[in-house]
Amino acid sequence: MYYFEDTKKKLHKDELILPSSAMMYDGVHIEKIIAGYRTLAVTGREMLSVNIETEESQIGSIKTNQTLPARVIKVTYQLIGKDAEELQKKYHKLMQVLYTEEEVEIRFKDAFDYHYYGQYMSTDEVRGDTNSIISSFELLCKDPRKYSRLFKSDGDIVSYLPYLVTPEKIEVEIRNVGGLMVTNGTEQISCTSRNFQQGDKVVFDFKMGKVFLNKVDQTFLLDLASDFENFYLRQGQTISSNNGNITISYREVLL
């Protein structure tokens, strides 16, 4: 749990009213839009257990599979209104803020350089006859990992990457007429069925699973032998292209 609240002087007045573990949910600090709301504690951001499947052997067991479970983050908060009726209105507003049908970016003030992707899942029951409550709700992060700010590189991967990372995008500005191949030294992605023109801009968008040529979806150009789904970044690698200047956009991933 995180109960510590920094009392040091801040540069921005707004930060004086935010608890150290205040949550930014889909770009919004709830404290700033619902008067009387305050984050008290956050759990679920600590070390993550690993699911290990085994089969018994003559001596001990043999590991057959290892997976990472989803992460559940629990936010404990206080909500105050002038009376029970106003409190209910604030709950309606809180639900409007938290309810989404898609995952959103989730950040916390005490680790603002990193974020999770998740969405509101459940809440504790609360009394309906009071103007001040302490309760909690849970956020489900199907992907339990947390992500750093976006890094960009022209080839060398020098960031600390303790785990395999999939790039978000690889952009290539074509140098000469001809095909295109990008490699990390192990896997490669290529488009050899088309002669690109000097100055063309090719984008391998790994989040969307598509290839764009001058901002137009041209995924059909991707060679079938390309390791598009298995193209990972590792610390110390050099990503190179046979035909153009490249820019790799990626994020550090931590558990």
**Domain identity same for 237 and 250:** yes
**Domain identity same for 33 and 102:** yes
* Beta-carbon count within 10 A of 47 CB: 6
Final residue before a domain boundary, out of 84, 116, 144: 144
Residue 118 · residue 25 · CB < 8 Å: no
Residue 3 lies in a domain: no
**Domain identity same for 35 and 116:** yes
221-255, pLDDT tens digit by residue?
999 999 988 999 999 999 999 999 999 999 999 88
Q: What is the CATH number of the domain that holds 241?
A: 2.60.120.860
Q: What is the CATH number of the domain that holds 62?
A: 2.40.30.200
Interatomic CA distance for residues 204 and 223, integer angstroms: 12
**Domain identity same for 138 and 225:** no
Question: Which residue range(s) make up the domain with 193?
Answer: 148-254
Residue 205 lies in a domain: yes
Interatomic CA distance for residues 119 and 34, integer angstroms: 19
At 126 the pLDDT is 81
At 102 the pLDDT is 93
Residue 11 lies in a domain: no
Final residue before a domain boundary, out of 144, 164, 192: 144
Residue 238 lies in a domain: yes
Q: What angle do CA 33, 43, 132 make, to 5 degrees?
A: 45
At 5 the pLDDT is 39
Interatomic CA distance for residues 222 and 171, integer angstroms: 14
**Domain identity same for 138 and 29:** yes
At 203 the pLDDT is 96
At 38 the pLDDT is 94
**Domain identity same for 57 and 101:** yes
- Looking at the 3D structure of the chain, how many domains does it have? 2
At 131 the pLDDT is 86
Question: Residues 150-154: contacts with CB within 8 Å, 24+ apart?
Answer: 150/249, 150/250, 150/251, 151/249, 151/250, 151/251, 151/252, 152/247, 152/248, 152/249, 153/239, 153/247, 153/248, 153/250, 154/245, 154/246, 154/247, 154/248
**Can you list the residues of the chain whose pLDDT is less than 50?**
1-16
Residue 224 amino acid letter = L
At 135 the pLDDT is 94
pTM (whole model) above 0.85 = no
Interatomic CA distance for residues 7 and 10, integer angstroms: 9
Final residue before a domain boundary, out of 144, 177, 206: 144
17's tokens: 């009213």
Residue 230 amino acid letter = N
At 62 the pLDDT is 93
**Domain identity same for 77 and 174:** no
Helices and strands: H and E segment counts in the chain? 2, 18
**Domain identity same for 119 and 172:** no
